[in-house]
A and B are shown apart, each in its own frame.
Chain A
Amino acid sequence: MDKVLKDLGNGAVISDVGDDGIQIEVPAGVKIEKPIYLTQLLGKKDKLKLEQGIFIYLREGSEADVIITDRTAVNRPFKVKRDIIADVRKDARLNLYLLQEQGTKSVWLNKMDSYNSGHLTLGIFCLGGASITNSLLLDMCAEGATADVFGMTIASGTQQVTNAVTVTHRAPRCRDRELFKQILDEEAVGRFEGLVQVNPHCPGADSQQTSRNICLSRTARAYAQPQLIIDTDDVRCSHGATVGQLDEEALFYLQQRGIPRHEARLLLLSAFLNEVVDKVSIDGLRERLRMMADARLRGDLNHCVACGSCGTFGAIDN
Chain B
Amino acid sequence: MLKIENLHASIAGKEILKGINLTVGEGEVHAIMGPNGSGKSTLSNVLVGHPAYTVTEGTVTFRGKDLLGMTPEDRSHEGLFLSFQYPVEIPGVSMTTFMRTAVNAQRTYRGLPPLEAADFLKLMREKRALVGLDSKLANRSVNEGFSGGEKKRNEIYQMAMLEPLLSILDETDSGLDIDALRIVAEGVNKLHTPQNSVIVITHYQRLLNYIRPDVVHVLYAGRIVKTGGPELAQELEERGYDWLKG
Given A258-B162, A259-B73, A260-B73, the answer on whether A253 and B105 have CB atoms closer than 8 Å is no
Chain B residues with Cβ below 8 Å from A254 are 90, 98, 101-102
Q: Does B145 contact A (CB under 8 A)?
A: no
Please report whether the interface of chain A is mostly helix, strand, loop or mixed according to DSSP. helix
Expressed in whole angstroms, the Cα–Cα distance for A44 and B158 within the complex equals 54
Contact of B92 among A248, A253, A275 (CB under 8 A): A275
Expressed in whole angstroms, the Cα–Cα distance for A95 and B156 within the complex equals 44
B90 touches A258 (CB 8 A): no
The closest CB in chain A to the CB of B93 belongs to A271
Given A257-B76, A258-B76, the answer on whether A268 and B90 have CB atoms closer than 8 Å is yes
Chain B residues with Cβ below 8 Å from A267 are 93, 97-98, 101
| Interface-lining segment among B81-89, B176-184, B202-210 | B81-89
Distance in Å: Cβ of B135 to nearest Cβ of chain A? 20
Q: Does B48 contact A (CB under 8 A)?
A: yes
The closest CB in chain A to the CB of B143 belongs to A253
The closest CB in chain B to the CB of A248 belongs to B51
**Chain A, 174-212, contact with B by CB distance < 8 Å: what is the 0/1 string?**
000000000000000000000000000000000000000
Chain B residues with Cβ below 8 Å from A274 are 92
B51 touches A252 (CB 8 A): yes
Given A248-B51, A253-B84, the answer on whether A261 and B91 have CB atoms closer than 8 Å is no
Expressed in whole angstroms, the Cα–Cα distance for A26 and B139 within the complex equals 41
CB contacts under 8 Å to A, within B17-62, are 48-51
The number of residues on chain A lying at the interface, defined by a beta carbon within 8 Å of a beta carbon of chain B, is 22
CB contacts under 8 Å to B, within A268-318, are 268, 270-272, 274-275
Q: Does B172 contact A (CB under 8 A)?
A: no
Expressed in whole angstroms, the Cα–Cα distance for A258 and B71 within the complex equals 10
**Chain B, 104-120, contact with A by CB distance < 8 Å: what is the 0/1 string?**
01100100000000000
Expressed in whole angstroms, the Cα–Cα distance for A274 and B142 within the complex equals 14
Chain B residues with Cβ below 8 Å from A250 are 88, 90
Distance in Å: Cβ of B168 to nearest Cβ of chain A? 10
Expressed in whole angstroms, the Cα–Cα distance for A257 and B93 within the complex equals 14
The closest CB in chain A to the CB of B86 belongs to A249
Contact of A260 among B48, B93, B105 (CB under 8 A): B105
Given A254-B98, A257-B98, A258-B73, the answer on whether A263 and B105 have CB atoms closer than 8 Å is yes
Q: Does A110 contact B (CB under 8 A)?
A: no
A257 touches B158 (CB 8 A): yes
Given A258-B76, A258-B102, the answer on whether A249 and B92 have CB atoms closer than 8 Å is no
B residues near A (Cβ < 8 Å) are: 48-51, 71-73, 75-77, 81-82, 84, 87-88, 90-93, 97-98, 101-102, 105-106, 109, 141, 158, 162
Q: List 14 A-B contacts (CB under 8 A).
A: A247-B90, A250-B90, A252-B51, A255-B71, A256-B73, A256-B75, A256-B82, A257-B162, A258-B105, A258-B106, A267-B97, A271-B141, A272-B92, A274-B92
Q: A256-B73, A256-B75, A271-B92 are in contact. List 15 more A-B contacts (CB 8 A).
A: A248-B51, A252-B50, A253-B88, A253-B90, A254-B102, A255-B49, A256-B76, A256-B81, A258-B109, A259-B102, A259-B105, A260-B73, A260-B105, A261-B71, A271-B93
Report the 3 A-B pairs with minimum CB-CB distance, sorted nearest first.
A271-B92, A258-B76, A255-B72
